[in-house]
């Protein structure tokens, strides 16, 4: 995002709206720090500027900077990168898709959230650690899958590493018996990270919204705890007649 200096009146109203804290005064006008900007579009979308001084220049959509927008602007859809959006339907449609089935767990590591954002070096630290531990079950429909240069080592494409995004999600489906090893790997990489990540575990429920003991016991044994609130698929979905083969 850029601010047209000849239009900006220097009121500064836009500055607190920026999730990246990238807008500041420069010569009594607001300016966007291009390195810090996530291209999330919040400044433009909220219409907070009284003189319409924000512009999204064409280079926002140029590779590799385009990654910033596709990973940070919730209203954007992918185009030039060949990367399919930011995440997948994950547990939200699992009652229909059964992507995470019996005996499996889904694990999501969302790096940069909440609030801080990150550069892509942090993703590589995690993908490398997972690959070194023999964990290669990266979700193929998640955009990070196509950002990895070598799945054996977890190396990302080098031209991406200096980009900054609000967040990106490493998603995997693994057998339940691999959950302990994965959590151990994640614990080891935590001290290396500059940013933060949120950690999720997806599992099928037993009767009466009962979380399988095996899953909770593994989480607790590895020193993690779960929050009292969660995202719960209520089991009301089904395959439509129009889409049955």
Site residues (CB under 8 A) for another protein, limited to 27-66: 40, 42, 45-46
Q: Which is nearer to another protein, 76 or 81 (CB)?
A: 76
Q: What minimum distance in Å lies between the beta carbon of 202 and another protein?
A: 5
CA distances from 229 to 107, 111, 168, 200, 225 (A): 17, 20, 22, 12, 12
> Contact with another protein (CB under 8 A): which of 64, 97, 155, 157?
97
Interface pattern 202-231 for another protein (x via CB under 8 A): xxxx-xxx-x-------x----xxxxxxxx
CB 106 within 8 A of CB 202: yes
Please tell me the count of residues contacting another protein according to CB under 8 A: 75
Would you count residue 232 as binding another protein (CB under 8 A)? yes
Bridge partners (DSSP) of residue 138 are: 172
Classify burial at 206, counting beta carbons within 10 Å of its beta carbon; exposed 0-12, middle 13-18, buried 19 or more: exposed
Between residue 124 and residue 163, which ones bind another protein under the rule CB under 8 A?
Answer: none
Least distance between another protein and beta carbon 178 (Å): 16
Token pair, residue 215, equals 């899953």
Rule CB under 8 A: choose which of 9, 21, 35, 150 binds another protein. 21
**Residues 71-90 close enough to bind another protein by CB under 8 A:** 74-75, 86-87, 89-90
Q: Taking the CB of residue 147, how many other CB atoms lie within 10 A of it?
A: 22
Q: How far apart are CA 70 and CA 87, in angstroms?
A: 10
Angle between helices 121-132 and 179-189 (to 10 degrees): 140
Work out which of 120, 172, 201, 218 binds another protein, going by CB under 8 A: 201
Nearer to another protein (CB atom), residue 81 or residue 167: 167
């Amino acid at each position: 995002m850029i601010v047209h200096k000849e239009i900006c009146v220097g009121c500064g109203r836009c500055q607190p709206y920026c999730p990246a804290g990238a807008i500041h005064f420069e010569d009594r006008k607001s300016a966007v720090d291009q390195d810090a900007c996530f291209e999330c579009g919040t400044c433009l979308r909220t219409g907070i500027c009284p003189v319409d001084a924000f512009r999204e220049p064409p280079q926002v959509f140029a590779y590799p900077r385009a990654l910033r927008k596709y990973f940070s602007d919730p209203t954007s859809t992918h185009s030039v990168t060949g990367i399919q959006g930011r995440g997948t339907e994950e547990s939200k449609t699992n009652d229909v898709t059964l992507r995470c089935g019996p005996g499996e767990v889904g694990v999501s590591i969302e790096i940069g959230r909440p609030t801080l954002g990150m550069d892509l070096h942090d993703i590589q630290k995690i993908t490398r650690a997972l690959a070194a531990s023999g964990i290669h079950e990266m979700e193929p429909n998640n955009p990070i899958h196509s950002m990895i240069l070598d799945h054996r080592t977890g190396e990302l494409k080098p031209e991406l590493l200096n980009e900054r995004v609000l967040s990106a999600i490493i998603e995997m489906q693994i057998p339940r018996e691999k959950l302990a090893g994965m959590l151990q790997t994640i614990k080891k990489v935590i001290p290396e990270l500059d940013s933060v990540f949120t950690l999720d575990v997806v599992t099928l429920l037993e009767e009466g919204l009962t979380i399988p003991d095996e899953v909770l016991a593994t989480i607790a044994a590895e020193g993690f705890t779960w929050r009292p609130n969660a995202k719960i698929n209520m089991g009301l979905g089904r395959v439509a007649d129009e889409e049955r083969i």
